[in-house]
Amino acid sequence: MASQKITGTLWYYLLQNPLIKDNEEYMAKVSATDVYDVNRIAAEMQKYNSTATIADIKAVLEILFTVVSNKVADGCSVRLPIVNIRPSISGRFSSPVDSFDSNRHAVNVKVTSGEMLNQAISNVQVARYDSVERSPVLKQFINCFTGTSNAYHAGFIGKLVGNELKFDIDSIDEGLFIVNSETAEEIKVQHFGKITNGELMFTLPPLTKGEYYMELRKAYCANREIRRGILKKSFVVE
């Protein structure tokens, strides 16, 4: 969705703040219009100096990254026009003479924006858009025994492809359910070989004769709201 937005504008949507229990309060989530890696940054830099090749620019950037990383690792603070970087230590110390303990403490990096970046973003245009509520999207079921989506063989492996499929397998309310279209009787799938946001692999449970559809239930947000995704294509067990 973000890639369809016009660049040059900071797009955001609002979410209810999960830390505020008593009052209705919302927080902004920014949606990036694009993503730039080293290759794309080098290509943009070449527009300012056409005599330098992208390979030359990337080589200089690699040197910059190495020098900055080494200096911060040496305990130095690095101040650049776009970013300020310094090492830090987190964790609790029990006394004024307590020593660093890697089991209780950690070495971190603190990063803040630099003056040039602050100035560049100070006059940015901001626009709000209405977000689409996240929920499971079931795109296709595949019977791995036949390689098709129109047959069901209990005991064999099934694959479900989609988005937002990963769920808490230990939750009673979440999971993949196979529902009888006529009686609404539902069977919860118990055995999974793979659970990711894009794909589920599972053992097909035994079913009685009838027409069925697949439904995924997944909890979202701090209040564990259950949202459902249904595979539009049903199947028949004979």
State yes or no: pLDDT of 2 exceeds 50.
Answer: no
pLDDT of residue 222: 73
What is the predicted pLDDT for the residue at 188? 96
Nearest to 231 by CA among 206, 203, 212, 210: 212
**Adjacent-strand bridge partners of 112:** 84
The pLDDT-based confidence of 21 (bands split at 50, 70, 90) is low
Q: What is the mean pLDDT of the chain?
A: 90
Confidence of residue 9 (pLDDT cuts 50, 70, 90): confident
SS3 139: strand
Residues 1-29, mean pLDDT to the nearest whole number: 72
Separation CA 174–CA 188 (nearest Å):
9
In this prediction, residues 40-65 reach a mean pLDDT of 94
Which CA distances in Å does 4 have to 7, 31, 32, 34? Answer: 9, 11, 10, 9
Per-residue pLDDT of 178-230, as tens digits, reads 999 989 999 999 999 999 999 999 999 999 999 999 999 999 877 788 999 99
User: Where does the pLDDT of residue 147 fall: very low under 50, low under 70, confident under 90, or very high at 90 and above?
Assistant: confident
**According to CATH, what is the number of the domain 137-237?**
2.70.50.70
Percent of the chain with pLDDT over 90: 70
Distance CA 168, CA 204 (A): 19
Q: What is the pTM of this model?
A: 0.56
Q: What are the structural domain ranges in the chain?
A: 137-237
Encode burial over 148-168: b for 16+ CB neighbours within 10 A, e otherwise: ebeebeeeebbbbbbebbbbe
pLDDT tens, residue by residue, 153-163: 999 999 999 99
How much is the average pLDDT of 169-178?
Answer: 94
Name the band, by pLDDT with cuts 50, 70 and 90, for residue 24: confident
pLDDT (tens digit, 9 = 90+) per residue, 70-87?
999 999 999 999 999 999
Question: E strand or H helix at 64, and its extent?
Answer: helix 54-73
Closest CA to 205 of 153, 150, 148: 153
**Would the pLDDT of 133 be above 80?**
no
Distance CA(159)–CA(143), nearest Å, equals 6
